[in-house]
């Protein structure tokens, strides 16, 4: 039996997508292992979720480094130490720089709470409500050097009901995310025969 595909999850916040991926692995639906959490926020809830699972955490403070290249070099050496195959961004609130891209482009994906290219960037849910769209959704895409501009891998629509609040739309979108992200990762992994 070949070794399992190794994932690193990058997150800055709650980590509900991290949890959904972890649960999908435990349920035998996603044939991979999460080997590392990379996080830039010491108080993020995702850290306690990871610690509960005994998952190694690389916690860094960007202010401790001269620039993005310097902290990304350290991240890359962690990723190499854990022999990471795929980087899964799940609420990582930073643009990925050239150092990480040069090593992992094509094996680094993100989830975004809108149907890209609509509503890139911060608070996509608020943007969708403000625009009055009747349909929004979820996009999973490859990472490139832009803000939510990489090639789209999967999308799923979510109906925006009349009078929906921000919290309600977020709940509906996250419900879809938690199903779509693990399933898409599994598809990518099973397509790739480079492992
Ligand atoms: C998700 O809605 C994702 O689309 C966006 O950030 C959010 C992260 O949520 N990129 P969580 O930390 O996984 O709960």
Q: Is 112 a catalytic residue?
A: yes
In this prediction the pTM is 0.96
For the chain, what is the mean pLDDT? 96
Continuous segment of H or E residues that includes residue 172: helix 166-191
CA distances from 124 to 63, 65, 133, 137 (A): 27, 29, 12, 10
Residue 5 CA, distance from chain mean position: 16
> Phi-psi category of 163—alpha, beta or left, where left has phi over 0 and alpha has psi -120 to 50?
left
Q: CA-to-CA distance for 13 and 8, rounded, in angstroms?
A: 15
Ligand 1 residue neighbourhood (C-beta within 6 Å): 11, 13-17, 90-91, 111-113, 174, 177
The whole-number average pLDDT for the span 173-189 is: 98
pLDDT confidence bin for 192, thresholds 50/70/90 = confident
Residue from 112, 166, 175, 178 carrying the catalytic annotation: 112
pLDDT confidence bin for 3, thresholds 50/70/90 = confident
Tokens of 35: 């080997």
Residue 1 Cα to ligand 1 midpoint, Å, equals 33
DSSP per residue, 4-70:
PEEEEEEESS--HHHHHHHHHHHTTSS-EEEEEEEES-TT-HHHHHHHHTT--EEE--GGGSSSHHH
Per-residue pLDDT at 1: 58
Ligand 1: residue of 111, 143, 180 to mutate (most ligand atoms within 8 A of CB) is: 111
Reported as a single tens digit per residue, the pLDDT across 69-125 is 999 999 999 999 999 999 999 999 999 999 999 999 999 999 999 999 999 999 999
Angle between helices 16-26 and 166-191 in degrees, nearest 10 = 40
């Amino acid at each position: 039996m070949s070794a399992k595909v190794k994932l690193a999850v990058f997150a800055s916040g709650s980590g509900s997508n991290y949890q959904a991926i972890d649960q999908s692995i435990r349920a035998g639906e996603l044939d991979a292992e999460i080997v590392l959490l990379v996080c830039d926020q010491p108080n993020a809830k995702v850290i306690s979720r990871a610690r509960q699972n005994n998952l190694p955490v690389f916690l860094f403070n960007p202010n401790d480094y001269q620039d993005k290249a310097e902290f990304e070099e350290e991240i890359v050496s962690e990723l190499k130490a854990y022999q990471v195959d795929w980087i899964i961004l799940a609420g990582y609130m930073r643009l990925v720089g050239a150092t990480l891209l040069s090593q992992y482009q094509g094996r680094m994906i993100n989830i975004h709470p809108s149907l890209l290219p609509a509503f890139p960037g911060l608070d996509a849910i608020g943007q969708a409500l403000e625009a009055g769209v009747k349909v929004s959704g979820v996009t999973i895409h490859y990472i490139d050097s832009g803000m939510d501009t990489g090639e789209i891998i999967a999308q799923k629509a979510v109906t925006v009901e009349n009078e929906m609040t921000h919290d309600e739309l977020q709940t509906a979108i996250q419900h879809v995310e938690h199903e779509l992200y693990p399933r898409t990762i599994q598809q990518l992994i099973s397509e790739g025969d480079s492992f």
